[in-house]
Amino acid sequence: MSIKTVIIDDEMLARRRIAQFLSSESGFEIFSECENVADAIQVCSDTDVDLIFLDVQLPDGSGFDVLRGLPQDHLPAVIFVTAYDQYTIEAFDFHAVDYLLKPFSKERFGQAAERIRNRLDGQSKKEISREVRDTLQLITSEPKYLERLTVNQGGRLIVLLVREIDWVAAFGNYLRLHSKGKTYLLRGTINRMEERLDPDKFVRIHRSTIVRVDCIKEFQPHFGGQYVVVLKDGTKFILSRNYRKQVLGRFEA
C-alpha cells in the first residue's frame, strides 16, 4: 500500500525538490501540493492523507496552523521542512515526527523517508495522531522567545546564542544576523523574527532592522527628522521616524 503524501511549501522549487527526491523512494504517492495554510487544511481535511511534508513558514500563517486546523483525532504523520527554529528541531528529536533543515541533501531526505516508512508500518493511525498532537503541544508550550537558533554555513550547522546577536537586517528572502564580528544568512522575515525576539532585549529601529538594546551607544540627529543609531562596535543604522518614539522612549530616564 502506498503512503498518500501532500507537500505543503510556499516555494515552488522546494516542492519540486521534495517531489524529485520522493520519486526515487519506494512506497510513496504524491496526492497533492499546497502553498498556503488555507489550501493545505482543505486538502488534508477532505482526504485520508498518510503523510505531509510541512513547511514551518507559510505566507498566511505557519505549519502549526495547518495542524491546528485539521481534525485532531486524525492527524497525518509529519515531516517538517524548516530553515531555522532551533527549539523546534530539539522538540522533533524527541517525538514522532521528523524534520528537514533547508537546504537538505538527498541522503538526509532518504533518512527521513525511511524513518517515516518504519513508523507508519509499525504504528496505527491513532497512535500517529496522538504523537503528532503531543509534539504540537510541546512546541507551542515552549518559551515564547528564542534563546538560540541554527544557521547553515557551508554545509555546517552553526548554533547562535540569541543573546550574542548584535543586529538583524532584512536581506531579500533572508535575514542577515551579526554575532561576534561575523554575519550569517538565515531564511526568514523580519516581522517573524521580531515576534520571536524578547522585546526587553531587542528593539526594531527600521522596517528592515532590529538591534540588541545593549549594543546601542548613541543616537545622532539625521536629515528629515530621523536619527542615526550608533552601536558600540561603530556600526550605524537609520532610526526611521515610524519607530523613533518607540525606540527613544526606551532610553528616557
Q: What is the pLDDT of residues 98-137, one digit of tens each?
A: 888 888 889 999 999 998 998 888 888 888 888 888 777 7
- pTM exceeds 0.85: no
Please give the average per-residue pLDDT across 19-29, as a whole number: 94
Domain(s) of CATH 3.40.50.2300: residues in the chain: 3-140
Please give the average per-residue pLDDT across 42-56, as a whole number: 92
Distance of CA 44 to the CA centre of its chain: 21
Model confidence over 185-196: pLDDT tens digits?
988 889 889 988
Beta strands 51-55 and 3-8 are: parallel
Q: Which is it for the CA torsion 197, 39, 111, 13, positive or negative?
A: negative
Helices (H), the chain: 12-23, 37-46, 63-69, 86-93, 106-122, 125-140, 190-196, 241-249
Which of the following CATH numbers is that of domain 148-249: 2.130.10.10, 2.40.50.1020, 2.40.160.20, 3.40.190.290? 2.40.50.1020
pLDDT (0 to 100) of residue 183: 94
Question: Which superfamily does 3-140 belong to?
Answer: Response regulator (3.40.50.2300)
More confident position, 218 or 223: 218
Model confidence over 52-97: pLDDT tens digits?
999 988 888 888 889 889 988 889 999 988 875 554 555 455 454 6
Helix (H) or strand (E) segment spanning residue 31: strand 28-34
Give the least confident one: 40-54, 81-95, 153-167, 229-243: 81-95
Domain(s) of CATH 2.40.50.1020: residues in the chain: 148-249
Q: Indicate the SS3 state at residue 122.
A: helix
Closest CA to 28 of 36, 39, 38, 20: 20
